[in-house]
Amino acid sequence: ERLMSLKVRLATKRKPAGWELVEGPLMQFEERLREAVDDPHEGKRKCESSWPIHRIHYERNRFIYDMYYRQQKISKDLYEFLVREKVVDAALISKWRKPGYEILCSMSAIQRSGTNFGTTSICRVPLCQRAGQIMPSVTTGCVSCVSGDGIDGGPVWWTDPYTAWAAKKKVDKQQKRKAEAPIDADVEARLKALRGEGPSSTGGGGASDEGGGGGIGIDAAVEARLRALRGEGGADASAAAPKEESLTTKGYDSD
């Protein structure tokens, strides 16, 4: 209501220097708001008719916020004039300067009195922590205004492409705890051996009976034959194996 009568309300007011920088965009926001209010509501839910109004309200205040705090193109006098005349939402702009609220869509999203269970809006829950189908807030039409979830420096609105935000990876809490839990050294060594990353059981890690280790020693001839079968030793492995004596001649005299 107050934005629609902006030009009339400020007609007799003395504007500070720099008003010409914001006058044009503010009038454009006024026209967009008028169109959103006059837009027919057929085929829409009752709550959806107010979504464009919340978005225009956000964009108008973001424009002034960027002009004053980031680009520093308007003076403090002009900013205070806009706040005093209620052209901008001072409470919302103040929230944007606090950690965690950098892209807050609307003050109504954090007003607990507006919910049945005294909680904030669903758009304040990170996308990675939501279960089931992700839907916009019934109040504002914002999908997510959590820091880190936004698109192009702003909230995720109901009109933004689904593929731009729905593909965010959801980390299962149980899997996260498992990934962070330390692994026992013996278990880690066995896992590496199974994956083939560590030394083989027949290599230097194997302990012989003479060494007093817990492992079972492998006869040198058997090990050489195993290497030859695996193709590890080649001709050298077969040569290293002791030659078997012929059973047909040893210990028998020919008649």
Encode pLDDT of 201-221 as tens digits: 444 444 444 444 444 556 788
Residue 189 domain boundaries: 182-240
Q: For residue 1, what pLDDT is reported?
A: 42
Is the Cα torsion angle 89, 90, 93, 99 positive or negative in sign?
negative
- Identify the domain boundary among 62, 95, 128: 95
Provide the token pair at 7: 């030009």
Domain total for the chain?
3
Distances in Å between the alpha carbon of 219 and those of 213, 230, 232, 243? 15, 17, 17, 15
Assess contact for 121 and 115: CB atoms under 8 A: yes
> Does residue 115 sit in the same domain as residue 156?
yes
> Does residue 224 sit in the same domain as residue 209?
yes
- Say if 157 falls within a structural domain: yes
Provide the token pair at 92: 């919302």
> Does residue 26 sit in the same domain as residue 68?
yes
Out of 60-64, 133-137, 155-159, 180-184, give the one with best mean pLDDT: 60-64
> Does residue 87 sit in the same domain as residue 22?
yes
- Identify the domain boundary among 76, 95, 114: 95
- Say if 248 falls within a structural domain: no
Q: What is the mean pLDDT of residues 17-29?
A: 94
For the chain, percent of residues with pLDDT exceeding 70: 71
Q: pTM of the full predicted structure?
A: 0.61
> Does residue 1 sit in the same domain as residue 90?
yes
Residue 235 clears pLDDT 60, i.e. is over it: no
Q: For residues 115 and 121, what is the distance between their CA atoms, to the nearest angstrom? A: 8
Helices 19-38, 76-84: axis angle to 10 degrees equals 30
Provide the token pair at 177: 């705890």
Q: For residues 82 and 22, what is the distance between their CA atoms, to the nearest angstrom? A: 10
> Does residue 195 sit in the same domain as residue 164?
no
Assess contact for 106 and 57: CB atoms under 8 A: yes
Provide the token pair at 91: 């409470």
> Does residue 30 sit in the same domain as residue 76?
yes
What is residue 32's three-state secondary structure?
A: helix
Q: For residue 249, what pLDDT is reported?
A: 46
- Say if 255 falls within a structural domain: no
Q: What is the pLDDT of residues 134-174, one digit of tens each?
A: 889 999 999 999 988 888 888 999 988 765 555 554 544 55
The label of the residue with tokens 């979504």 reads 51
Assess contact for 198 and 204: CB atoms under 8 A: no
Q: What is the mean pLDDT of residues 83-103?
A: 95
Q: For residues 203 and 52, what is the distance between their CA atoms, to the nearest angstrom? A: 71
Q: Which residues 6+ apart lie within 8 Å of 4 measured at CB? A: 30, 33, 34, 37
Cβ count near 88 (within 10 Å) = 23
- Say if 177 falls within a structural domain: no
- Say if 176 falls within a structural domain: no
- Say if 251 falls within a structural domain: no
> Does residue 54 sit in the same domain as residue 86?
yes
Q: For residue 145, what pLDDT is reported?
A: 94
What Rg do the C-alpha atoms of the chain give, in angstroms?
A: 37
- Say if 198 falls within a structural domain: yes
> Does residue 106 sit in the same domain as residue 195?
no
- Identify the domain boundary among 78, 95, 112: 95
Residue 240 clears pLDDT 70, i.e. is over it: no
> Does residue 5 sit in the same domain as residue 88?
yes
Q: For residues 239 and 225, what is the distance between their CA atoms, to the nearest angstrom? A: 10
